Amino acid sequence: MQPPHASKERLCLYPAEIWLAQRLGLGATQSVDRPCLKRQLFGMVNRMLSDTGQNAPPFDPKPIARKFAKVQDIRVEALNCDGMLIPVNDGFIIKINRHQSRRRRRAVCAHELGHTFFYDLDRRPPQRGYLDTASPHWVEEGYCYEIAREMLMPESHVRTIITSRDSSKSILWFLKHLVQKFDCSPELVVKRIQDLDLWDAIIVIFQANDSDEGPYFVVKKYHSNPFKCGAFHSVRTIKMGTAIDETSILHNILLDTYVADKETVHREKVRLGQMEQVFLVESMPLKRSSSILSVFSANQQ
């Protein structure tokens, strides 16, 4: 199914995308639309994986960095940001914040590698292939996140695992399975589940906070949290930053998970913003970030 704005996509490629289309050898940009550009781009990422001998998960961005992106060195050090890409004479240096988890560092490396796609690698030092003041910052950023997700969790590999799924396993089981298999953080896996619309579900990450009256929960400000997938894609649901009513069923479910510090499963009528319906709610604590990840699905799928 085409998104409603598909017909407009052909008309509004940003300078960053026009450069990308040229770099991918797509020729006359008038004939390139965004879905076509992304197909070619992700095809290139997959060729890079197989050309570095990577045919099964987990996938590693480092061999690609060296072989295709002229990355001279990858340094893990103290930074005041997640990571950075520094052009040097013969290519690039990638710096990654050492305070990140190992899985998060893999994602940052793949993201910074994504930025190299926007550079002209034939110049010394490499230079951006387009006038970056002419294109909104988020255009290139968005592509870098998408490149990173395709590199670490290629669509074809994820779909193969999902279609061979054992129907007795729950969405949360699969989410954890993908975390292990692809060696990615739960947060990145959730975003990928949303990208690929793998299930009919809403996945929410709640920040747990302690107060004198006990714990309370807030929808975490993180990417497009809540992550709406499949049949729930267009629903109006709870918003980022919303504090959960402490008299609600949802609060009790989250409290149960938080206090027990283990996974819980409930089937309850739950209010999520303007929606209220019976959901199967599978929740698990994300200990590193003092958060709870909850999968809301209509049925055991």
Task: Please work out the total of residues on this chain that contact Zn ion, with binding judged by CB under 5 A.
Answer: 2
Q: Are 258 and 281 in contact (CB under 8 A)?
A: no
| Prior bond of 186 cis (ω within 30°) | no
* Interface pattern 107-146 for Zn ion (x via CB under 5 A): ----------------------------------x--x--
Q: Quick one: CA dihedral 29, 31, 33, 39, positive or negative?
A: negative
**Two structure tokens written together for 223:** 């990417």
- Least distance from C-beta 84 to Zn ion, angstroms? 8
* Interface pattern 143-172 for Zn ion (x via CB under 5 A): -x----------------------------
Q: Looking up tokens 């796609």, which residue turns up?
A: 117
- Least distance from C-beta 110 to Zn ion, angstroms? 11
Of the pair 144, 254, the CB lying nearest Zn ion is at 144
Of the pair 132, 256, the CB lying nearest Zn ion is at 132
- Least distance from C-beta 23 to Zn ion, angstroms? 17
Of the pair 94, 171, the CB lying nearest Zn ion is at 94
Of the pair 144, 280, the CB lying nearest Zn ion is at 144
> Cα separation of 65 and 241, whole Å?
36
**Two structure tokens written together for 85:** 């890409």
Give every strand in the sheet of 83-88, ordered side by side.
Answer: 71-77, 91-97, 83-88
Of the pair 144, 281, the CB lying nearest Zn ion is at 144
- Least distance from C-beta 113 to Zn ion, angstroms? 10
- Least distance from C-beta 116 to Zn ion, angstroms? 11
- Least distance from C-beta 150 to Zn ion, angstroms? 15
Q: Which of 206, 278, 288 is nearest to 246 (CA)?
A: 206
* Interface pattern 249-288 for Zn ion (x via CB under 5 A): ----------------------------------------
Q: Are 149 and 188 in contact (CB under 8 A)?
A: yes
Of the pair 23, 251, the CB lying nearest Zn ion is at 23
**Two structure tokens written together for 7:** 């017909």
- Least distance from C-beta 255 to Zn ion, angstroms? 36
Q: Which of 99, 117, 96, 125 is nearest to 45 (CA)?
A: 117
* Interface pattern 219-248 for Zn ion (x via CB under 5 A): ------------------------------
Of the pair 132, 141, the CB lying nearest Zn ion is at 141
Of the pair 143, 199, the CB lying nearest Zn ion is at 143
- Contacts by residues 219-228 (CB-CB < 8 Å, ≥ 24 positions apart): 219/244, 220/291, 222/187, 223/187, 223/191, 224/191, 224/194, 226/202, 226/272, 227/190, 227/191, 227/193, 227/194, 227/202, 227/203, 228/194, 228/202
For every residue of 65-110, DSSP letters joined together read: HHHHS-EEEEEEE--SSSEEEEEETTEEEEEEETTS-HHHHHHHHH
- Least distance from C-beta 291 to Zn ion, angstroms? 23
Sites of contact with Zn ion (CB under 5 A): 141, 144
